[in-house]
Amino acid sequence: MSPDELAPELGRLQAAGLYRRRRVLGGPQQPRCLVDGRPMLSFCSNDYLGLANHPEVVAALCRGAERWGVGSGTAHLVNGHCAAHEALEEELADFTGRPRALLFSTGYMANLGVISALAGRGDTVFEDRLNHASLLDGALLSRATLRRYPHGDPAALGRMAAEGPPRLIATDGVFSMDGDLAPIRALARIAREAGAWLLVDDAHGLGVLGREGRGTLNHLGLDARAVPILMGTLGKALGTFGAFVAGSEELIETLVQRARSYIYTTAAPPALAEATRTSLAIARREAWRRERLQTLIQRLRAGAAQLGLPLADSSTPIQPLMAGNAARALAWGQGLESAGILVTPIRPPTVPEGTARLRITLSAAHTESDVDRLLDALGALPRRAAA
């Protein structure tokens, strides 16, 4: 196939309003930033606690580089696992209330590694229809049979599981595009009755929900017996980069031995682990960040209700403004951008057809006046676009 044969599909994406373009950030990740050379107020980052440019975290990264250098040089199982990685794993295990934690390069790699290590040909993996792509791809790459149940519907999952027991059930904790919480308590019951593993991807709950930001499971009062496998990311609320899986001694040791996305990749820079140790400590001690988030969420939702804006039902920093079709989502995004506000339109295939939206996300680094400015800009959109 020649490059010219790819052009028609690229043209089709452009015509359908589904073409994606990268923007160039001209400074650190924070609400007020320089995007493509223009000052913007951003509402589309996952930096929920405002730690990505925190001076203590930046200083820890610099100190870590001075001590450990930049690259780790090789995989964890060769000679790339240093004392900084080990310390971070121990602190993440304590944070999540589990015996051990294991670092992965990204959340995507963590989910691929867990599912392929625990399920394979002849097994069945059940997943929520709106799960993150990494969970879905993990099941497909494991060569297990993937069955998807209707979003947030444990009754449907129960009926499907009765037809053939699953090896593993996987779900987002907080769904990344909708901001709603999975019915994890009901899923845990089904998994227990079926004798299946339950994996919760808490990328968007960790740091935001629960005591000290311990995540969705802590928020719901669920422990490791209810949810044996917890995956969390470090590049969202914790403001750095990477991911981890937390669980029993036996689970983590199995992943060390069998998770290909752990075994066959270079370890993350140890300086990054030092930065994450600092951001984790800040997240645990500074409850005001989560309190401010809740204040901003309530302010946004109250203002949107007054304007008649169709926000999805979410109590998390993810506040989707439903547009329906891709063209409308693009028009909304362009209208906000003309007012100096950045909110990325989310279109298929990231979300199902007919559910395009603006995915508004809030950070503890935002102010109430930032939210008011966003509401003013939303209110100024043409009624046909804002209704």
**Catalytic: 176?**
yes
Geometric angle at alpha carbon 242, from 236 and 243, rounded to 5°? 85
Separation between Cα atoms, residue 1 and residue 154, nearest integer Å: 45
Cis peptide before 345 (omega within 30 of 0): no
Which among 182, 160, 271, 301 is positioned nearest to 230, based on CA atoms?
Answer: 182
Token pair for residue 90?
């121990």
Active-site hit among 132, 204, 219, 366: 204
Active-site hit among 76, 219, 236, 366: 236
Token pair for residue 109?
């790699």
HSE-CB at 106 with a 13 A cutoff on CA atoms is 6
Which among 308, 296, 307, 354 is positioned nearest to 329, based on CA atoms?
Answer: 354
Q: Could you identify the residue written with the tokens 């950030």? A: 25
Output DSSP code: residue 3.
G
8 A C-beta contact, residue 318 and residue 44: no
**Catalytic: 204?**
yes
Which among 364, 188, 235, 356 is positioned nearest to 293, based on CA atoms?
Answer: 364
The H or E element containing residue 38 is strand 38-42
Active-site hit among 176, 279, 314, 363: 176
Which among 319, 313, 320, 321 is positioned nearest to 293, based on CA atoms?
Answer: 319
**Catalytic: 236?**
yes
Catalytically annotated residues: 176, 204, 236
